[in-house]
């Protein structure tokens, strides 16, 4: 199976690889997937007082599509408000990266990682956690 | 001059040796006869070529040319051996013993046998990939008709104790079939000394063409028969009908002849390169060889690079053609069943690469591969949350992972 040019680009030049200080209250961390499944994504967001995501970082253990999905997600997150970030759908990632059907789970994981990071941020700041839509699974 | 990508997937298939191609070519054009045509020169020529190939093959595995049955490849030979014995020896029993690390061509055939009402015992292997001989003997019942255990494994290259297995089979009057696909032409295989009753093998794993293979079927002590699985002209002593693939058979014969001549020198050179590759790659932190290193084919190395996912790693080593135990594309997301049978955890199985060298592999290619893999592993670990946790001393088993 051949990878799309965009997947190869994100894999070869991943954006925003790194780690934010998870102890900070304005940093939300999402860790999703499992080593047994061959995919683990950690996605982090840093949010300012206006609910705008000023920074996003990821680290991913997984195939090229998983790495590309999380790299793309961090690119999209920066500059968005938390509410706007919640609207990112896994199918947007599928479309942008031209993921084949067998790789759709990579985009689902990236969406889960975004939501999980936002929830971590919300809980840290006294907001109730949002229910994660697991309809894709 | 180094040409990229570098082919290191020789357990999947090998390139055709140019000398094999040269031997085959005349049988595709001028000498196109049907080996079963008994009444003209075209047929005689083809038959002669087939007979010569039988001798070349027989000489490699130390059997009589009459004991060679030509097939389309090892998968067909596996099917024919197991299903053919199951039918032929139905009055004696219906129990087959095999192992969990066998090739799918054997395992799926055994599943088929179970659907037909047969009983199959799947032996487990230890962490080295070897079966337990006592367990094998204990599994034999008065209904056992066949022991089907591969000579050498396709994923990790582990060689089973074939002689001990055949001794047990003989003691209990059970036939011993071995899938020799990865072993024949690579290491000395002697059906007499090894006590093999039936063996499957293929041309394209030993520098021959695709689409042709053979089955060795013992004619004496005991005389073994298998029921044909394809009806037709009764070729190959009635065990395998169908017009013989003469150019393919000539290619298989030539490949066997070359293997016999060059095995010793090939093995010395290839194993030295494999050992160097392995030694260098093991300098990478948290890397492990899968399967026995002692009882192993000389050209294979299966290594797990912990905290890096195999498919991602394959994309990182884009200049190398290798295989991974990770099957991220499959619907189940299940990694290699062979590595799991060796007791590897799923994450280590997902982190594996299989390197298979050949007689055409060069030192220069090995050097390139070593550096390429080292760089890719290092780059991917920089990106891996698991590596970061490991470096921080976090026990990954202490984390409650959200399975998906």
At B172-218, the pLDDT tens digits run: 999 999 999 999 999 999 999 999 999 999 999 999 999 999 999 99
Q: Which residue of B has its CA nearest to A18?
A: B383
Instruction: Please determine, looking at this structure, whether the domain spanning B18-258 carries the CATH number 3.40.30.10.
Output: no
Separation in Å, CA of A77 to nearest CA in chain B:
18
- Residue B271, classed as helix, strand or coil, is helix
Q: Residue B232 in contact with residue B244, Cβ under 8 Å?
A: no
* Percent of chain B residues topping a pLDDT of 70: 98
> Residue A25 domain-assigned?
yes
Instruction: Kindly state the average pLDDT of the residues B349-365.
Output: 96
Closest-approach residue (CA) in chain B for A14: B383
Residue A3: per-residue pLDDT: 87
Q: Is the pLDDT of residue B43 over 60?
A: yes
Give the pLDDT of residue A38: 86
Contact A64 B383 (CB under 8 A): no
Cβ-nearest to A35 among B310, B316, B346 = B346
Asked if B385 is an interface residue toward chain A (Cβ–Cβ < 8 A), one would say yes
Query: Scanning the structure block, which residue is given the tokens 């080292």?
Result: B374
The 3-class secondary structure across chain A, one letter per residue, is: CCCCHHHHHHHHCCCCECCCCCCCCCEEEEEEEEHHHCEEEEEEEEECCCCEEEEEEEEEECCHHHHHHHHHHHHHHCCCEHHHHHCCCHHHHHHHHCCCHHHHHHHHHHHHHHHHHHHHHHHHCCCCCCCCCCCCC
Confidence band (pLDDT; 50, 70, 90) for A137?
very low
Residue A47 to residue A120: CA distance in whole angstroms = 12
The predicted pLDDT at position A2 comes to 77
pLDDT attached to residue B327: 61
Residue B219: exposure state from Cβ atoms within 10 A (0-12, 13-18, ≥19): middle
B332 in reach of chain A (CB within 8 A): no
Please answer yes or no on whether B386 and A35 come within 8 Å at the CB atom. yes
pLDDT exceeds 80 at position B333 = no
Strands of B66-118 (E only): list them.
68-71, 95-99
Please give the Cα distance from A106 to A94 (Å, whole number). 9
Residues in A touching B387 (Cβ below 8 Å): 61
Q: Is residue A136 scored above 90 in pLDDT? A: no
Phi and psi, residue A41, nearest 5°: -120, 135
> Which CATH number applies to B6-12+263-393: 1.10.3720.10, 3.30.450.40, 3.90.1150.10, 3.40.140.10?
3.90.1150.10
Q: What is the pTM of this model?
A: 0.92
- CA dist B266 and A11 (Å) reads 38
Q: How many domains does chain A have?
A: 1
| Start-to-end Cα distance in chain B | 46
pLDDT by residue (tens digit) across A1-56?
Answer: 678 999 999 999 999 999 999 999 999 999 999 988 889 999 999 999 999 999 99
Interface check B325 vs A, CB under 8 A: no
CB neighbourhood size of A71 (10 A):
23
pLDDT above 70: residue B397:
yes
- Rounded to 5 degrees, what are φ and ψ at B214? -150, 165
Whether A49 is covered by a domain: the verdict is yes
Q: Cite the residue boundaries of each domain of chain B with CATH code 3.90.1150.10.
A: 6-12+263-393
Considering the domain boundaries, does residue A34 fall inside one?
yes
In a domain, A77, yes or no: yes
In the prediction, which pLDDT does B1 show?
81
- Calculate ∠ Cα B251-B256-B257, nearest 5°: 100
Contact B312 A64 (CB under 8 A): yes
The parent domain of residue A51 ranges over 5-124
Q: How do B198-202 and B175-179 pair as beta strands?
A: parallel
pLDDT of residue A66: 95
Q: Point out which residues pair with A133 in neighbouring strands.
A: none
Confidence of residue B329 (pLDDT cuts 50, 70, 90): very low
Q: CATH number of the domain that A46 lies in?
A: 3.90.1010.10
Location of structure tokens 């029921």: B227
Q: Is B182 annotated as a binding residue?
A: yes
Q: What is the mean pLDDT of chain B?
A: 95
pLDDT at residue B323 tops 60: yes
Q: Is residue A134 one of the residues assigned to a domain?
A: no
Query: Is B194 within 8 Å of B166 (Cβ atoms)?
Result: yes
3-class state of residue B94 by DSSP: coil
Is B63 designated active site? no
Beta strand B119-123 pairing with B95-99: parallel
Question: Which of B201, B153, B156, B204 is closest to B180 using CA atoms?
Answer: B201
Smallest Cβ distance to A61: which of B307, B331, B402? B307
Q: Identify whether A99 is part of a domain.
A: yes
For residues A43 and A69, what is the distance between their CA atoms, to the nearest angstrom?
11
What's the whole-number mean pLDDT along residues B348-352?
Answer: 90
CB contact under 8 A, A14 and B401: no
* Exposure string over B145-165, b if 16+ CB within 10 A, otherwise e: bbbbbbbbbbbbbbbbebeeb
Helix axes A64-77, A104-124, angle to 10 degrees: 40
Query: Any residues with CB less than 8 A from the CB of B365 and at least 6 apart, and which?
Result: B2, B6, B8
For residue B403, what pLDDT band results from cuts at 50, 70 and 90?
low
Q: Residue A135 has what pLDDT?
A: 43
For residue B78, which phi and psi values (nearest 5 degrees)? -60, -45
Chosen for mutation from B324, B346, B383, B399 (greatest number of chain A CBs closer than 10 Å) is B383
A49-66 average pLDDT score = 96
Residue A136 belongs to some domain of the structure: no
């Amino acid at each position: 199976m051949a990878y799309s040019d965009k997947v190869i680009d994100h894999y070869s030049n991943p954006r925003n690889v790194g780690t934010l200080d998870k102890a900070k209250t304005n940093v939300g961390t999402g860790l999703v997937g499992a080593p047994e499944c061959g995919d683990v994504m950690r996605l982090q967001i840093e949010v300012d007082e206006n609910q705008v995501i000023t920074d996003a970082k990821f680290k991913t253990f997984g195939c090229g599509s998983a790495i590309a999905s999380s790299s793309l997600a961090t690119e999209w997150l920066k500059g968005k408000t938390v509410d706007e970030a919640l609207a990112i759908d896994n199918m947007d990632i599928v479309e942008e990266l031209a993921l084949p059907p067998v790789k759709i789970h990579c985009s689902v994981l990236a969406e889960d990682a975004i939501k999980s990071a936002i929830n971590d941020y919300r809980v840290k700041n006294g907001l109730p956690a949002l229910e994660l839509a697991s309809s894709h699974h | 001059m180094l040409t990229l990508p570098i082919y290191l997937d020789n357990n999947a298939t090998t390139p055709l040796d140019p000398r094999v191609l040269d031997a085959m070519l005349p049988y595709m054009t001028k000498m196109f006869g049907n080996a079963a045509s008994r009444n003209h020169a075209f047929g005689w020529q083809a038959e002669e070529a087939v007979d010569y190939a039988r001798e070349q093959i027989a000489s490699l595995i130390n059997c009589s040319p009459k004991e060679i049955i030509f097939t389309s490849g090892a998968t067909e030979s596996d099917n024919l051996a197991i299903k053919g014995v199951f039918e032929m020896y139905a009055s004696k029993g219906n129990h087959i013993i095999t192992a969990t690390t066998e090739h799918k061509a054997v395992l799926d055939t055994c599943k088929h046998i179970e659907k037909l009402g047969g009983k199959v015992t799947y032996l487990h292997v230890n962490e080295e990939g070897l079966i337990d001989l006592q367990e094998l003997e204990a599994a034999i019942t008065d209904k056992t008709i066949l022991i089907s255990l591969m000579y050498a494994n396709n994923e990790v290259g582990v060689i089973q104790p074939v002689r001990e297995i055949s001794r047990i089979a003989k003691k209990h009057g059970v036939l011993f079939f071995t899938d020799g696909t990865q072993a024949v032409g690579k290491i000395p295989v002697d059906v007499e000394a090894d006590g093999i009753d039936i063996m499957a093998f293929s041309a394209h794993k030993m520098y021959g063409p695709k689409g042709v293979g053979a089955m060795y079927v013992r004619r004496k002590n005991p005389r073994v028969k298998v029921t044909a699985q394809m009806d037709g002209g009764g070729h190959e002593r009635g065990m395998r009908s169908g017009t013989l693939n003469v150019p393919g058979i000539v290619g298989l014969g030539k490949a066997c002849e070359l293997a016999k001549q060059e095995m010793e020198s090939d093995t010395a050179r290839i194993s030295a390169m494999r050992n160097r590759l392995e030694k260098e790659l093991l300098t990478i932190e948290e890397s492990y060889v899968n399967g026995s290193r002692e009882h192993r084919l000389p050209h294979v190395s299966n290594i797990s690079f912990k905290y890096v996912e195999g498919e991602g790693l394959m994309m990182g080593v884009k200049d190398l053609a290798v295989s991974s135990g990770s099957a991220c594309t499959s619907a189940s997301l299940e990694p290699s069943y062979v590595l799991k049978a060796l007791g590897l955890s799923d994450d280590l199985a997902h982190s594996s690469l299989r390197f298979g060298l050949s007689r055409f592999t060069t030192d220069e290619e090995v050097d390139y591969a070593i550096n390429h893999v080292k760089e890719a592993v290092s780059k991917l670990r920089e990106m891996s949350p698991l590596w970061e946790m490991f470096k921080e001393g976090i026990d990954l088993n202490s984390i409650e992972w959200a399975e998906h």
